[in-house]
């Protein structure tokens, strides 16, 4: 049975690089950008159209997620690893009094609730897979214990919620053999991470894949950083 992964947020950055490296490893990939039109993703698809399937999917839209799950089920008969990679980082650095609460709701809808939408919709395909892995691309900025500076309200709160989603998924799906983990890729030079990032996408994704694919049942519900280091929730 072929190894199959589904990647959300696949149109650019870490998601695009995940698709590229998984294909290089011989995987079949269902690549789910929010919208079609990524020239980089199209280039990858042209190189190996039999193993890369593009399925547009907006994790913040119920109908889009349902349609994306239907399309995925028509293309593959199982999914081994789900990479919940889609995310947003609202650029707000103001005080509580200046905070736009709309940005907080938007971040929660994509970064946390989006994980629930996608994982629930794809659960039938995940249950048919042999690896049964659900990987959340999170951030150390979602760690309660590591928060020493405050700020970035929407992003911090939504990533902390995402980490709680991981723990709940681990409790609920662990008895079925699932491994559900949150992975912090480091500060990566992408459009979201900015030019100050310490890692390029290639190096970051190499580390993410090592963590995600090597983790055993004992890692279920954990928060991992580069090198499989356990991070504080």
Residues noted as catalytic: 155
Which tokens go with 15? Answer: 């998601």
Do 64 and 58 form a contact (C-beta atoms < 8 A)? yes
Do 139 and 163 form a contact (C-beta atoms < 8 A)? no
Q: From its phi and psi, is residue 158 left (phi > 0), alpha (psi between -120 and 50) or beta?
A: alpha
- For residues 185 and 181, what is the distance between their CA atoms, to the nearest angstrom? 12
User: What are the strands of the beta sheet with 133-137, ordered from one edge?
Assistant: 52-54, 28-32, 4-8, 81-84, 133-137, 179-183, 223-224
Residue 19 to residues 22, 30, 152, 155: CA-CA distances in angstroms? 5, 8, 29, 24
């Amino acid at each position: 049975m072929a190894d199959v992964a589904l990647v959300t947020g696949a149109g650019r950055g870490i998601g695009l690089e995940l698709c590229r490296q998984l294909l290089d490893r011989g995987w079949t990939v269902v690549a789910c950008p929010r919208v079609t039109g990524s020239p980089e993703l199209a280039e990858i698809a042209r190189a190996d159209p039999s193993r890369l399937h593009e399925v547009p999917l907006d994790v913040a839209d119920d109908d889009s997620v349902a349609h994306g799950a239907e399309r995925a089920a028509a293309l593959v008969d199982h999914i081994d690893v789900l990479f919940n990679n889609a995310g947003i980082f609202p650029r707000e650095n103001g005080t509580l009094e200046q905070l736009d609460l709309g940005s907080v709701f938007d971040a929660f809808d994509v970064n946390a609730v989006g994980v629930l939408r996608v994982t629930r919709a794809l659960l039938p395909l995940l249950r048919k897979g042999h690896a049964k892995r659900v990987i959340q691309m999170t951030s150390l900025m979602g760690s309660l214990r590591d928060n020493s500076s405050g700020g970035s309200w929407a992003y911090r709160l939504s990533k902390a919620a995402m980490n709680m989603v991981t723990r709940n998924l681990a409790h609920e799906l662990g008895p079925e053999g699932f491994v559900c983990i949150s992975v912090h890729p480091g500060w990566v030079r992408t459009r979201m991470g900015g030019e100050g990032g310490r890692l390029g996408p290639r190096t970051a994704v190499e580390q993410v894949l090592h963590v995600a694919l090597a983790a055993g049942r004992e890692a279920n519900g954990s928060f991992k950083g580069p090198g499989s280091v356990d991070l504080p929730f």
